[in-house]
Structure 1
Protein backbone atom coordinates (compact mmCIF):
# COMPACT_ATOMS: atom_id res chain seq x y z
CA UNK A 1 0.00 0.00 0.00
CA UNK A 2 1.53 3.31 -1.09
CA UNK A 3 -1.04 5.45 0.78
CA UNK A 4 -1.27 7.68 -2.27
CA UNK A 5 -4.39 6.19 -3.85
CA UNK A 6 -7.59 8.10 -4.39
CA UNK A 7 -10.49 6.43 -2.57
CA UNK A 8 -14.18 7.12 -2.03
CA UNK A 9 -13.26 9.23 1.03
CA UNK A 10 -9.89 10.63 -0.06
CA UNK A 11 -11.16 11.91 -3.41
CA UNK A 12 -8.16 14.12 -4.09
CA UNK A 13 -8.83 14.33 -7.82
CA UNK A 14 -12.00 16.32 -7.11
CA UNK A 15 -12.02 19.99 -8.04
CA UNK A 16 -12.51 21.07 -4.42
CA UNK A 17 -9.42 19.25 -3.14
CA UNK A 18 -7.32 20.33 -6.12
CA UNK A 19 -8.32 23.92 -5.42
CA UNK A 20 -7.36 23.57 -1.74
CA UNK A 21 -3.85 22.32 -2.50
CA UNK A 22 -3.18 24.47 -5.56
CA UNK A 23 -0.84 26.87 -3.74
CA UNK A 24 1.37 23.97 -2.64
CA UNK A 25 1.46 22.18 -6.00
CA UNK A 26 4.77 23.83 -6.77
CA UNK A 27 7.95 22.03 -7.84
CA UNK A 28 10.07 24.61 -6.01
CA UNK A 29 8.70 23.39 -2.66
CA UNK A 30 10.08 20.28 -0.96
CA UNK A 31 7.74 17.52 0.23
CA UNK A 32 8.33 18.69 3.80
CA UNK A 33 7.49 22.30 2.95
CA UNK A 34 4.31 21.19 1.22
CA UNK A 35 3.26 19.01 4.16
CA UNK A 36 3.93 21.69 6.77
CA UNK A 37 2.16 24.37 4.76
CA UNK A 38 -0.90 22.22 4.18
CA UNK A 39 -0.96 21.14 7.85
CA UNK A 40 -1.12 24.79 8.94
CA UNK A 41 -3.78 25.58 6.36
CA UNK A 42 -6.03 22.78 7.60
CA UNK A 43 -5.29 23.41 11.27
CA UNK A 44 -6.33 27.06 11.10
CA UNK A 45 -8.62 27.11 8.06
CA UNK A 46 -11.34 24.97 9.66
CA UNK A 47 -12.57 25.78 13.16
CA UNK A 48 -12.55 22.79 15.50
CA UNK A 49 -16.07 21.61 16.37
CA UNK A 50 -16.50 18.44 18.48
CA UNK A 51 -20.29 18.77 18.57
CA UNK A 52 -20.96 17.93 14.92
CA UNK A 53 -21.11 14.15 14.52
CA UNK A 54 -21.46 12.41 11.16
CA UNK A 55 -23.30 9.10 10.88
CA UNK A 56 -23.47 8.40 7.13
CA UNK A 57 -20.49 7.44 4.97
CA UNK A 58 -21.10 10.16 2.38
CA UNK A 59 -20.57 12.76 5.11
CA UNK A 60 -16.93 11.64 5.46
CA UNK A 61 -15.84 12.41 1.88
CA UNK A 62 -13.00 14.93 1.76
CA UNK A 63 -14.63 16.89 -1.07
CA UNK A 64 -17.76 17.35 1.07
CA UNK A 65 -15.88 18.25 4.25
CA UNK A 66 -13.64 20.81 2.57
CA UNK A 67 -16.69 22.93 1.68
CA UNK A 68 -17.39 23.60 5.37
CA UNK A 69 -15.73 26.17 7.64
CA UNK A 70 -15.45 23.92 10.70
CA UNK A 71 -14.83 20.29 11.46
CA UNK A 72 -14.28 17.53 13.99
CA UNK A 73 -10.79 16.05 14.38
CA UNK A 74 -11.81 13.24 12.00
CA UNK A 75 -13.05 15.72 9.42
CA UNK A 76 -9.88 17.79 9.46
CA UNK A 77 -7.68 14.69 9.31
CA UNK A 78 -9.56 13.41 6.25
CA UNK A 79 -9.19 16.78 4.52
CA UNK A 80 -5.47 16.87 5.28
CA UNK A 81 -4.86 13.28 4.14
CA UNK A 82 -6.69 13.86 0.85
CA UNK A 83 -4.64 17.00 0.27
CA UNK A 84 -1.36 15.29 1.07
CA UNK A 85 -2.11 12.39 -1.25
CA UNK A 86 -3.06 14.88 -3.94
CA UNK A 87 0.42 16.38 -3.57
CA UNK A 88 2.04 12.95 -3.89
CA UNK A 89 2.82 12.59 -0.18
CA UNK A 90 1.82 9.27 1.46
CA UNK A 91 -0.66 9.75 4.31
CA UNK A 92 -3.12 7.67 6.32
CA UNK A 93 -5.54 8.12 9.20
CA UNK A 94 -4.68 7.17 12.80
CA UNK A 95 -7.36 6.83 15.47
CA UNK A 96 -7.31 6.93 19.26
CA UNK A 97 -9.38 7.67 22.35
CA UNK A 98 -8.51 10.89 24.21
CA UNK A 99 -9.61 12.65 27.38
CA UNK A 100 -10.23 16.38 27.32
CA UNK A 101 -9.47 18.35 30.49
CA UNK A 102 -10.56 21.73 29.08
CA UNK A 103 -14.19 22.77 28.60
CA UNK A 104 -15.27 19.62 30.41
CA UNK A 105 -18.64 20.95 31.59
CA UNK A 106 -19.99 21.59 28.10
CA UNK A 107 -18.63 18.32 26.75
CA UNK A 108 -20.33 16.35 29.50
CA UNK A 109 -23.55 18.30 29.00
CA UNK A 110 -23.62 17.67 25.24
CA UNK A 111 -21.94 14.29 24.88
CA UNK A 112 -22.19 12.80 28.37
CA UNK A 113 -18.43 12.42 28.87
CA UNK A 114 -15.13 14.21 28.39
CA UNK A 115 -13.64 11.13 26.70
CA UNK A 116 -13.64 11.65 22.93
CA UNK A 117 -13.51 8.73 20.52
CA UNK A 118 -12.52 8.05 17.90
CA UNK A 119 -10.09 10.94 17.80
CA UNK A 120 -8.57 11.38 14.36
CA UNK A 121 -5.04 12.37 13.48
CA UNK A 122 -2.77 11.59 10.54
CA UNK A 123 0.38 9.67 9.73
CA UNK A 124 2.45 11.26 6.99
CA UNK A 125 5.53 9.73 5.32
CA UNK A 126 8.39 12.21 5.01
CA UNK A 127 12.12 11.67 4.56
CA UNK A 128 11.84 7.92 4.97
CA UNK A 129 9.75 7.76 8.14
CA UNK A 130 6.15 7.97 9.32
CA UNK A 131 5.23 10.95 11.48
CA UNK A 132 2.09 11.61 13.52
CA UNK A 133 0.34 14.97 13.35
CA UNK A 134 -2.96 16.30 14.67
CA UNK A 135 -4.50 19.30 12.84
CA UNK A 136 -7.58 19.44 15.09
CA UNK A 137 -7.22 22.61 17.20
CA UNK A 138 -7.14 25.87 15.25
CA UNK A 139 -4.92 28.71 16.48
CA UNK A 140 -7.79 30.90 17.68
CA UNK A 141 -9.22 28.10 19.83
CA UNK A 142 -5.80 27.39 21.33
CA UNK A 143 -5.42 31.05 22.30
CA UNK A 144 -8.87 30.98 23.90
CA UNK A 145 -7.93 27.83 25.87
CA UNK A 146 -4.56 29.30 26.93
CA UNK A 147 -2.53 26.63 25.17
CA UNK A 148 0.17 26.98 22.53
CA UNK A 149 -0.97 26.03 19.00
CA UNK A 150 0.31 22.61 17.95
CA UNK A 151 3.12 23.09 15.44
CA UNK A 152 4.41 20.57 12.91
CA UNK A 153 7.94 20.80 11.49
CA UNK A 154 7.82 17.81 9.15
CA UNK A 155 10.58 16.06 11.11
CA UNK A 156 8.99 15.04 14.44
CA UNK A 157 5.65 13.77 15.71
CA UNK A 158 3.15 16.52 16.53
CA UNK A 159 0.33 15.25 18.73
CA UNK A 160 -2.03 16.87 21.21
CA UNK A 161 -0.69 19.29 23.79
CA UNK A 162 -0.48 17.54 27.15
CA UNK A 163 -0.54 20.76 29.20
CA UNK A 164 -1.82 24.32 28.85
CA UNK A 165 0.37 27.40 29.32
CA UNK A 166 -0.09 27.26 33.08
CA UNK A 167 0.98 23.62 33.35
CA UNK A 168 -2.54 22.30 33.83
CA UNK A 169 -3.73 19.10 32.15
CA UNK A 170 -5.08 19.69 28.64
CA UNK A 171 -5.35 16.48 26.60
CA UNK A 172 -4.62 12.87 27.51
CA UNK A 173 -4.38 9.84 25.24
CA UNK A 174 -6.25 6.85 26.66
CA UNK A 175 -6.13 4.25 23.91
CA UNK A 176 -4.43 3.90 20.53
CA UNK A 177 -6.50 2.21 17.79
CA UNK A 178 -3.70 2.32 15.23
CA UNK A 179 -3.66 3.41 11.59
CA UNK A 180 -5.94 2.48 8.68
CA UNK A 181 -5.45 2.39 4.91
CA UNK A 182 -8.75 4.17 4.28
CA UNK A 183 -11.38 5.87 6.43
CA UNK A 184 -12.69 2.95 8.55
CA UNK A 185 -16.35 3.95 8.41
CA UNK A 186 -17.70 0.79 10.07
CA UNK A 187 -15.15 1.04 12.87
CA UNK A 188 -16.01 4.71 13.44
CA UNK A 189 -19.75 4.04 13.49
CA UNK A 190 -19.39 1.08 15.87
CA UNK A 191 -17.14 3.19 18.09
CA UNK A 192 -19.77 5.95 18.26
CA UNK A 193 -22.47 3.38 18.98
CA UNK A 194 -20.44 1.77 21.76
CA UNK A 195 -19.30 4.94 23.54
CA UNK A 196 -22.21 7.29 22.84
CA UNK A 197 -25.11 4.83 22.72
CA UNK A 198 -27.76 7.28 23.87
CA UNK A 199 -26.83 9.80 21.18
CA UNK A 200 -26.53 7.11 18.49
CA UNK A 201 -29.91 5.55 19.30
CA UNK A 202 -31.58 8.95 19.33
CA UNK A 203 -30.26 10.04 15.95
CA UNK A 204 -29.70 6.73 14.14
CA UNK A 205 -30.57 7.07 10.47
CA UNK A 206 -29.62 10.74 10.15
CA UNK A 207 -26.70 11.78 7.97
CA UNK A 208 -25.20 14.00 10.69
CA UNK A 209 -26.16 15.68 13.94
CA UNK A 210 -25.33 18.94 15.71
CA UNK A 211 -25.35 18.61 19.49
Structure 2
Protein backbone atom coordinates (compact mmCIF):
# COMPACT_ATOMS: atom_id res chain seq x y z
CA UNK A 1 0.00 0.00 0.00
CA UNK A 2 2.99 2.33 0.25
CA UNK A 3 2.60 3.73 -3.27
CA UNK A 4 -1.06 4.50 -2.54
CA UNK A 5 -0.12 6.48 0.56
CA UNK A 6 2.88 8.42 -0.76
CA UNK A 7 2.82 11.96 -2.18
CA UNK A 8 3.59 12.48 -5.87
CA UNK A 9 4.07 15.46 -8.17
CA UNK A 10 0.31 15.58 -8.81
CA UNK A 11 -1.14 13.89 -5.73
CA UNK A 12 0.40 16.34 -3.27
CA UNK A 13 -0.70 14.76 -0.02
CA UNK A 14 2.18 16.49 1.75
CA UNK A 15 1.29 20.01 0.54
CA UNK A 16 0.34 22.36 3.42
CA UNK A 17 -2.80 23.64 1.63
CA UNK A 18 -4.00 20.09 0.92
CA UNK A 19 -3.37 19.01 4.50
CA UNK A 20 -5.18 22.10 5.81
CA UNK A 21 -8.18 21.46 3.55
CA UNK A 22 -8.37 17.79 4.55
CA UNK A 23 -8.02 18.55 8.26
CA UNK A 24 -10.67 21.28 8.04
CA UNK A 25 -13.24 18.92 6.57
CA UNK A 26 -12.61 15.86 8.74
CA UNK A 27 -13.26 15.25 12.39
CA UNK A 28 -10.23 14.18 14.39
CA UNK A 29 -10.54 10.73 15.89
CA UNK A 30 -13.18 9.52 13.42
CA UNK A 31 -12.75 6.18 11.67
CA UNK A 32 -11.27 6.07 8.17
CA UNK A 33 -14.60 5.47 6.47
CA UNK A 34 -16.21 8.50 8.12
CA UNK A 35 -13.28 10.74 7.19
CA UNK A 36 -13.35 9.42 3.62
CA UNK A 37 -17.02 10.32 3.32
CA UNK A 38 -16.35 13.80 4.69
CA UNK A 39 -13.54 14.34 2.20
CA UNK A 40 -15.69 13.14 -0.69
CA UNK A 41 -18.38 15.73 -0.02
CA UNK A 42 -15.82 18.47 0.63
CA UNK A 43 -14.30 17.93 -2.81
CA UNK A 44 -17.60 17.23 -4.58
CA UNK A 45 -19.30 20.43 -3.44
CA UNK A 46 -16.37 22.62 -2.41
CA UNK A 47 -14.65 22.44 -5.80
CA UNK A 48 -16.86 23.49 -8.73
CA UNK A 49 -16.99 21.15 -11.72
CA UNK A 50 -15.76 22.92 -14.85
CA UNK A 51 -15.12 20.92 -18.05
CA UNK A 52 -13.60 24.05 -19.61
CA UNK A 53 -10.75 24.01 -17.11
CA UNK A 54 -8.56 21.41 -18.82
CA UNK A 55 -5.24 23.02 -19.69
CA UNK A 56 -2.16 21.57 -21.43
CA UNK A 57 0.08 22.44 -18.49
CA UNK A 58 1.33 19.93 -15.94
CA UNK A 59 1.14 22.37 -13.04
CA UNK A 60 -2.60 22.88 -13.56
CA UNK A 61 -3.26 19.29 -12.51
CA UNK A 62 -1.44 19.37 -9.19
CA UNK A 63 -3.75 19.01 -6.19
CA UNK A 64 -2.65 22.35 -4.75
CA UNK A 65 -3.45 24.11 -8.06
CA UNK A 66 -6.93 22.60 -8.20
CA UNK A 67 -7.53 23.63 -4.61
CA UNK A 68 -6.37 27.18 -5.30
CA UNK A 69 -8.63 27.57 -8.35
CA UNK A 70 -11.57 25.93 -6.55
CA UNK A 71 -12.73 24.37 -9.80
CA UNK A 72 -11.70 21.56 -12.10
CA UNK A 73 -12.95 18.79 -14.34
CA UNK A 74 -13.39 15.18 -13.27
CA UNK A 75 -9.70 14.22 -13.38
CA UNK A 76 -8.59 17.28 -11.43
CA UNK A 77 -11.16 16.67 -8.70
CA UNK A 78 -10.18 12.98 -8.51
CA UNK A 79 -6.55 14.00 -8.03
CA UNK A 80 -7.49 16.35 -5.20
CA UNK A 81 -9.62 13.74 -3.44
CA UNK A 82 -6.77 11.22 -3.69
CA UNK A 83 -4.33 13.75 -2.23
CA UNK A 84 -6.67 14.59 0.64
CA UNK A 85 -7.24 10.91 1.40
CA UNK A 86 -3.52 10.12 1.44
CA UNK A 87 -2.91 13.07 3.74
CA UNK A 88 -5.31 11.34 6.15
CA UNK A 89 -3.44 8.02 5.78
CA UNK A 90 -6.21 6.53 3.65
CA UNK A 91 -4.83 4.60 0.63
CA UNK A 92 -6.01 6.16 -2.62
CA UNK A 93 -5.48 5.68 -6.35
CA UNK A 94 -6.90 7.05 -9.61
CA UNK A 95 -9.17 5.23 -12.05
CA UNK A 96 -10.06 6.15 -15.63
CA UNK A 97 -12.72 5.16 -18.14
CA UNK A 98 -14.11 6.43 -21.43
CA UNK A 99 -17.74 7.43 -20.94
CA UNK A 100 -20.59 8.68 -23.08
CA UNK A 101 -22.02 11.76 -21.42
CA UNK A 102 -25.52 12.34 -22.73
CA UNK A 103 -25.92 15.41 -20.53
CA UNK A 104 -23.81 18.21 -21.89
CA UNK A 105 -24.29 21.69 -23.29
CA UNK A 106 -24.43 22.72 -26.93
CA UNK A 107 -21.34 24.86 -26.53
CA UNK A 108 -19.28 22.08 -24.97
CA UNK A 109 -20.47 19.67 -27.66
CA UNK A 110 -19.22 22.06 -30.35
CA UNK A 111 -15.82 22.25 -28.70
CA UNK A 112 -15.46 18.51 -28.18
CA UNK A 113 -17.23 17.39 -31.33
CA UNK A 114 -18.55 14.31 -29.53
CA UNK A 115 -20.34 13.11 -26.40
CA UNK A 116 -17.54 10.61 -25.71
CA UNK A 117 -15.42 11.77 -22.79
CA UNK A 118 -12.10 9.94 -22.82
CA UNK A 119 -10.23 9.26 -19.59
CA UNK A 120 -13.05 10.27 -17.28
CA UNK A 121 -11.43 10.26 -13.84
CA UNK A 122 -12.52 8.99 -10.46
CA UNK A 123 -10.84 8.05 -7.18
CA UNK A 124 -10.59 4.65 -5.52
CA UNK A 125 -10.22 4.54 -1.74
CA UNK A 126 -9.15 1.49 0.26
CA UNK A 127 -11.73 1.17 3.03
CA UNK A 128 -12.63 -1.85 5.15
CA UNK A 129 -10.11 -3.98 3.24
CA UNK A 130 -11.48 -3.29 -0.24
CA UNK A 131 -11.21 -0.67 -2.98
CA UNK A 132 -14.28 1.54 -3.34
CA UNK A 133 -14.88 3.92 -6.26
CA UNK A 134 -15.70 7.56 -5.49
CA UNK A 135 -16.61 10.09 -8.19
CA UNK A 136 -16.62 13.63 -6.79
CA UNK A 137 -16.98 15.36 -10.17
CA UNK A 138 -20.46 16.93 -10.29
CA UNK A 139 -21.13 19.38 -7.47
CA UNK A 140 -24.65 19.65 -6.05
CA UNK A 141 -25.58 22.93 -7.79
CA UNK A 142 -24.57 21.58 -11.18
CA UNK A 143 -26.63 18.42 -10.64
CA UNK A 144 -29.66 20.57 -9.85
CA UNK A 145 -29.14 22.62 -13.00
CA UNK A 146 -28.84 19.47 -15.11
CA UNK A 147 -31.71 17.66 -13.36
CA UNK A 148 -29.51 14.71 -12.43
CA UNK A 149 -29.25 12.93 -9.12
CA UNK A 150 -26.15 13.96 -7.16
CA UNK A 151 -23.77 11.07 -6.55
CA UNK A 152 -23.73 10.03 -2.92
CA UNK A 153 -20.91 8.09 -1.25
CA UNK A 154 -21.19 5.93 1.87
CA UNK A 155 -17.71 4.42 1.85
CA UNK A 156 -18.99 0.88 1.25
CA UNK A 157 -20.38 0.88 -2.31
CA UNK A 158 -18.97 2.18 -5.59
CA UNK A 159 -20.14 5.71 -6.35
CA UNK A 160 -20.30 6.03 -10.15
CA UNK A 161 -22.48 8.09 -12.45
CA UNK A 162 -26.11 7.09 -12.88
CA UNK A 163 -27.09 5.76 -16.32
CA UNK A 164 -30.23 7.97 -16.34
CA UNK A 165 -31.21 11.41 -15.10
CA UNK A 166 -34.22 12.10 -12.88
CA UNK A 167 -36.53 12.27 -15.92
CA UNK A 168 -35.41 8.87 -17.22
CA UNK A 169 -33.21 10.27 -20.00
CA UNK A 170 -29.80 8.76 -20.67
CA UNK A 171 -27.07 10.33 -18.54
CA UNK A 172 -23.79 8.43 -18.45
CA UNK A 173 -22.62 5.25 -20.15
CA UNK A 174 -19.26 3.60 -19.38
CA UNK A 175 -17.61 2.47 -22.61
CA UNK A 176 -13.99 1.51 -21.88
CA UNK A 177 -12.05 0.90 -18.67
CA UNK A 178 -8.45 2.15 -18.56
CA UNK A 179 -7.67 0.68 -15.13
CA UNK A 180 -6.18 2.24 -12.01
CA UNK A 181 -2.97 4.17 -11.35
CA UNK A 182 -0.95 5.20 -8.32
CA UNK A 183 -0.25 8.57 -9.97
CA UNK A 184 -1.75 10.68 -12.74
CA UNK A 185 -0.69 9.47 -16.25
CA UNK A 186 -0.78 13.05 -17.46
CA UNK A 187 1.18 12.68 -20.70
CA UNK A 188 -1.03 9.81 -21.85
CA UNK A 189 -4.25 11.67 -21.02
CA UNK A 190 -3.14 14.93 -22.61
CA UNK A 191 -1.93 13.26 -25.82
CA UNK A 192 -5.24 11.41 -26.17
CA UNK A 193 -7.25 14.55 -25.36
CA UNK A 194 -5.48 16.72 -27.94
CA UNK A 195 -6.03 14.04 -30.56
CA UNK A 196 -9.70 13.56 -29.71
CA UNK A 197 -10.60 17.23 -29.11
CA UNK A 198 -8.41 19.44 -31.34
CA UNK A 199 -10.89 22.36 -31.36
CA UNK A 200 -11.11 22.36 -27.56
CA UNK A 201 -7.49 23.50 -27.20
CA UNK A 202 -7.54 26.19 -29.92
CA UNK A 203 -8.45 29.17 -27.73
CA UNK A 204 -8.33 28.53 -24.00
CA UNK A 205 -8.89 32.16 -22.99
CA UNK A 206 -12.31 32.54 -24.63
CA UNK A 207 -13.97 29.77 -22.65
CA UNK A 208 -16.81 30.40 -20.25
CA UNK A 209 -15.97 30.37 -16.56
CA UNK A 210 -19.38 29.13 -15.40
CA UNK A 211 -20.44 25.79 -16.85
CA UNK A 212 -23.18 25.52 -14.22
CA UNK A 213 -24.87 28.71 -15.42
CA UNK A 214 -24.57 27.48 -19.00
CA UNK A 215 -26.29 24.23 -18.03
CA UNK A 216 -29.06 26.05 -16.20
CA UNK A 217 -29.76 28.33 -19.17
CA UNK A 218 -30.09 25.40 -21.57
CA UNK A 219 -32.19 23.28 -19.24
CA UNK A 220 -34.74 25.85 -18.09
TM-score, normalised relative to structure 2: 0.88
Provide, for residues 73-122 of structure 1, a one-character-per-residue CA deviation record: whole Å limited to 9, x for no partner.
01111110000000000001111111111134232222221111221101
The one-character-per-residue Cα deviations of 1:51-70 (angstroms, maximum 9, x if unpaired) are: 12121211111111101121
Where has structure 1 moved over 6 Å in runs of 4 or more?
none
Q: Which residue does the alignment assign to 2:186?
A: 185
Q: Matched residues in 1 for 2:77 and 2:175: separation?
A: 21
Is the contact made by 2:67 and 2:80 (CA closer than 8 Å) also made in structure 1? yes
Query: Does structure 1 conserve the Cα–Cα contact (< 8 Å) formed by 2:26 and 2:39?
Result: no
**Cα-Cα RMSD:** 1.7
- Asked if the contact 2:149–2:166 (Cα under 8 Å) also holds between the matched residues in 1, the reply is yes
Distance 1:98 1:138, change over 3 A: same
Q: Is 1:66 equivalent to 2:67 in the alignment?
A: yes
Shift of 1:168: 1.0
Partner of 1:18: 19
State the match for 1:171 in structure 2. 172
Cα distance in structure 1, aligned partners of 2:156 and 2:7 = 25
SS of the equivalent of 2:54 reads strand
The number of equivalent residue pairs is: 206
Label 1:72 to 1:116 Cα distance change in 2 as closer, same or farther (>3 A).
same
* Cα separation, partners in 2 of 1:100 and 1:210, compared to 1, 3 Å: farther
**Gap change, CA 1:209 and 1:175, over 3 Å in 2:** farther
Equivalent-residue separation in structure 1 for 2:108 and 2:178 (angstroms): 22
Pick closer, same or farther for the CA change 1:145–1:90 going to 2, 3 Å.
same
Scaled by the length of structure 1, the TM-score of the pair is 0.91
Report what 1:141 is aligned to: 142
Partner residue in 2 for 1:91: 92
Q: Distance in 2 between matches of 1:23 and 1:150?
A: 22
Give the corresponding residue for 1:75.
76
Report deviation, 1:28: 2.1
Q: For residues 24 and 52 of structure 1, do their structure 2 counterparts lie closer, same or farther at Cα, with a shift above 3 Å needed?
A: closer
d(CA) in 1 for partners of 2:45 and 2:76?
13
Name the SS of the counterpart of 2:11 in structure 1: coil
**2:8 paired with 1:7:** yes
Which structure is higher in helix share? 2
How far 1:71 moved relative to its partner?
A: 1.0
Residues 143 and 24 of structure 1, relative CA distance in 2, 3 Å threshold: closer
